[in-house]
Structure 1
């Protein structure tokens, strides 16, 4: 890379903080560092044209976990851990709304619903049975019951008679959210360079040498906010998880409003105006979906289309307008990894598919490690 004197002087000299990843976590980290260090030189590096992982690709759910997902988490996490995690997600959502404003992110508090397939009698019964217990756990945080039983008024097909309703869930516009974050970062004199891949780095004690393909520069501190791409950084504590998503063409007289969950959070859908966005299905083939490669597979796409046809929009005509995928970061624990890797290198990763909820908090915690 041939750089001029001006490019070296303005972008790559006397850098205090370099953040890798310009998604929700990376930009919240940068903005928090700016609050703490008004005169610092802050550089954000992004390997994609836009934030590469899931920040501009997610479904726009302002949620903190469906009832069946929370019960599933209790099989591998303690009651205290699950309650603490939900509190973090809830606080993260409030932080996001406070920083960006509800209007900017098109926040719509329609509530969230969970539906259960006809054949999932066991899962449905367990959720109904344990609903009061989960409400009790969450009452100190929400000061009210979170989950309640409601009849299906949306005309879904092949499901149990009742849905589980959560009034604390909402929708946001993912594109608007990221544009507002980028706007705030630029306004705060944070430098953002896209299509820059960090190939290696070394902590020299008094600075970090950062290598971008055939070019290197020095920074005082290096912070990684690369979530699903952080496997090597964390010795396998973070695994990538691809999420496949589709969206329909506009549907006449669509009467579905809100965020909807199915099968322990493995499937999720919502309305965007008069369209349906539907994603999920990695549980059909965990091995293939543990990847940093974007793309679709037949097994997942066929299942998504089947759900649209037989469950979400029975007896309705629809056409699929577009398909895409995003890369999340997951692991054995749902708790994020916010840690110091060496004297001058830090990371905030493993958002567990809850980036919208927890990303702002993880970014703030990452910046506060400095």
Structure 2
């Protein structure tokens, strides 16, 4: 494509920072760079019409890990690492609230619950037993006990009597969040170009030559914030993980309020405008769900519907109105990758399904690294 003089001058000349990806991480990186470098030219390239990964496709959970997730994390991470993960997630949520504001986020601190299916008795007993221990190791962060037992008052089906409650969880409006961040970026003279796929780049001694949609330009620094899509251009150990979601039509007299977790975080649901939003089930077929496709699959959608019928809404009729999926970035460790790849190239990726919680702080740390 041949660009005009004006297009070249205003968008692709004297670029200081080019950020690939306009999700939570990319926008927070850009805003943090703008604070540090008031006169820099900052360009964000986004391959979708909207952020292509999970930033506008997630369930809107302001959470830092259910108790079964934390118990599972302790199998592969030290106590100190797990505490640091929770600390980073919680700090990230506070930064997001500060940057966007609770009113805009439609922040609803209803608390979070974990429920356990009758066939998961061993996990249920283990998590009940671990409550005092988990509360003790995270008490320095929250100054009080976080997890407690509560009798199920929602009339769920096929579960054990007690839910595990966490008062520090909340719901947010993902669409409001991203609109506010995009607006803030525009107000701070951050250039955003959509439908721009970066196909390659070549690093020189003083800058990086970037090719996107056949357009070639130079930038002083190149930053990848593409999370689940990162491995294509950065060679990082980040795997895409598709998260599938469904949404019911409005349900009269719906008496479910909060954020809910099931099976070590592989299932999650919440109320929204008298509807139930339910997602997850990628553990049914990890190999097939290691994809950047935004299709949905019959296997997983059927399982989600089955959970609605037998567990979440066992005594109510419902209809499905909408289905979608998003792409997360996962790996063999829950810590995000925030690193300098070469002299002028950086990345902030692998958010491990916790993008809402840690996206803001990953963006801040990436900008600090630059």
TM-score, normalisation: structure 1: 0.99
SS in 2 for 1:119: helix
Q: Which residue of 2 aligns with 1:220?
A: 220
Structure 1 residue 234: Cα displacement: 4.5
Structure 1 residue 209: Cα displacement: 0.2
Q: Which residue of 1 aligns with 2:250?
A: 250
Q: Which residue of 2 aligns with 1:42?
A: 42
Q: Which residue of 2 aligns with 1:96?
A: 96
Structure 1 residue 298: Cα displacement: 1.1
1:349 and 1:214 map into 2 onto residues whose CA distance is 25
2:200–2:233 contact (8 Å) kept in structure 1: no
Deviations 1:9-45 (A, max 9, x none): 0000000000000000000000000000001000000
Deviations 1:130-181 (A, max 9, x none): 1100000100000011100000000100000000000000000000000000
Q: Which residue of 2 aligns with 1:332?
A: 332
Q: How many residues align?
A: 370
1:178 aligns with 2:178: yes
Q: Which residue of 2 aligns with 1:260?
A: 260
1:57 and 1:205 map into 2 onto residues whose CA distance is 38
Q: Which residue of 2 aligns with 1:320?
A: 320
Q: Which residue of 2 aligns with 1:26?
A: 26
Q: Which residue of 2 aligns with 1:86?
A: 86
Structure 1 residue 202: Cα displacement: 1.1
1:47 and 1:176 map into 2 onto residues whose CA distance is 21
**4+ residue runs of structure 1 moved beyond 4 angstroms?**
none
Unaligned runs of 5+ in 2: none
Structure 1 residue 232: Cα displacement: 3.1
SS in 2 for 1:318: coil
SS in 2 for 1:192: strand
1:352-363, aligned counterparts within 5 Å? 352-363=352-363
Q: Which residue of 2 aligns with 1:288?
A: 288
Structure 1 residue 233: Cα displacement: 3.9
1:1-370, aligned counterparts within 5 Å? 1-370=1-370
Deviations 1:204-250 (A, max 9, x none): 02010000132100000000000000113443510000000000000
2:212 and 2:254 map into 1 onto residues whose CA distance is 48
Q: 1:47 to 1:236 in 2, by over 3 A?
A: same
Unaligned runs of 5+ in 1: none
Tell which deviates more after alignment, 233-242 or 30-39.
233-242
Deviations 1:69-99 (A, max 9, x none): 0001111111110100000000000000000
- Taking only aligned residues, the RMSD between alpha carbons, in angstroms, comes to 0.7
